[in-house]
Amino acid sequence: MEKVVLVTGASRGIGRAIAKLLAENDFKVVANYHNSEQAAIDLKQYLHNEGYEIEIFKADISKRDEIKKMIDFTIEKFGRIDVLVNNAGIDQEKMFQDISDEDWKKIIDVDLYSVFATTQEVVSNMINNKSGAIVNISSCYGVNGGSFAVAYSAAKAGVIGLTKSLAKELGPSNIRVNAIAPGCINTDMNAHLTKEEFDQIIDDTPLGRLGEGIDIARCVKWLAEDEFTTGQVISIDGGWR
């Protein structure tokens, strides 16, 4: 039976690579986007032209009511949700003293609350089916912390705590919960880095290159299909850590 997967933040970067790889491997995909509508439309048209099944849905995943509409759409369209990939996120570089309450709330809402709320809305369907896989995209900063990224690091560390706790709670319902902690991935989120900064990251990475979205997508596919892995945080960072 083909699995149904919902991927948040799927119009660009890591999320796009995840949605594309899963669709190409016969998953039925619902790709969430918020601001990048044309990129989402392009992804849908490309995959449809290749004969794969994908729908797109606009939702601000920091808002519960929009999350509910997205979940309802997915279940009405495909009848169930087998896999949830909580990928959507934003980052911010600021000195700790300069982080405002508004900065903090925005990062926590998008990077941590969204994982909580989206997962909570999906879990009932998975429990009813006695099966499911949840993959949360954290960050190497969630594992190690990052200078000038306190809010982002805190939110991504929270994703890891949520993952480990929920894996224990949902295991008896045959629902697996894992997290991936990417290193520096070649996406728009890191486009602000200078060539010198990229060169330093590459020099500090034993495998000698930046990561690509497909590197994360392959791990997501494995976690979606594997049946005996849960509560894990997998660092995909080329050995950077």
Write out pLDDT tens, residues 93-144. 899 999 999 999 999 999 999 999 999 999 999 999 999 999 999 999 999 9
Q: Is residue 56, in this structure, part of any structural domain at all?
A: yes
Number of domains in the chain: 1
Domain harbouring 75, CATH code = 3.40.50.720
> At residue 193, does pLDDT exceed 70?
no
> At residue 8, does pLDDT exceed 70?
yes
pTM (predicted TM-score): 0.95
Q: Is residue 149, in this structure, part of any structural domain at all?
A: yes
Encoded tokens for 22: 């899963």
Encoded tokens for 117: 């709320």
3-class secondary structure per residue, 120-141: HHHHHHHHHHCCEEEEEECCHH
> At residue 229, does pLDDT exceed 80?
yes
Q: Is 128 exposed, middle or buried (0-12, 13-18, 19+ CB in 10 A)?
A: exposed
Strands 28-33 and 54-58: parallel
Q: Is residue 211, in this structure, part of any structural domain at all?
A: yes
Residue positions annotated with a catalytic role:
152
pLDDT band at 74 (very low <50, low <70, confident <90, very high): very high
Cα atoms in the Cβ-side hemisphere of radius 13 Å centred on 164: 10
Q: Is residue 125, in this structure, part of any structural domain at all?
A: yes
Mean pLDDT of 73-80: 97
Q: At how many degrees (to 10) do helices 114-129 and 150-170 cross?
A: 20
Q: Is residue 241, in this structure, part of any structural domain at all?
A: no
Closest CA relative to residue 127, chosen from 161, 86, 160, 82: 82
- State which residues form the domain around 173: 4-236
Chain segment 197-221, per-residue pLDDT in tens: 777 878 888 888 888 999 999 999 9
pLDDT for residue 238: 87
pLDDT for residue 191: 63
Chain segment 84-106, per-residue pLDDT in tens: 999 999 988 899 999 999 999 99
Q: Is residue 99, in this structure, part of any structural domain at all?
A: yes
> At residue 167, does pLDDT exceed 80?
yes
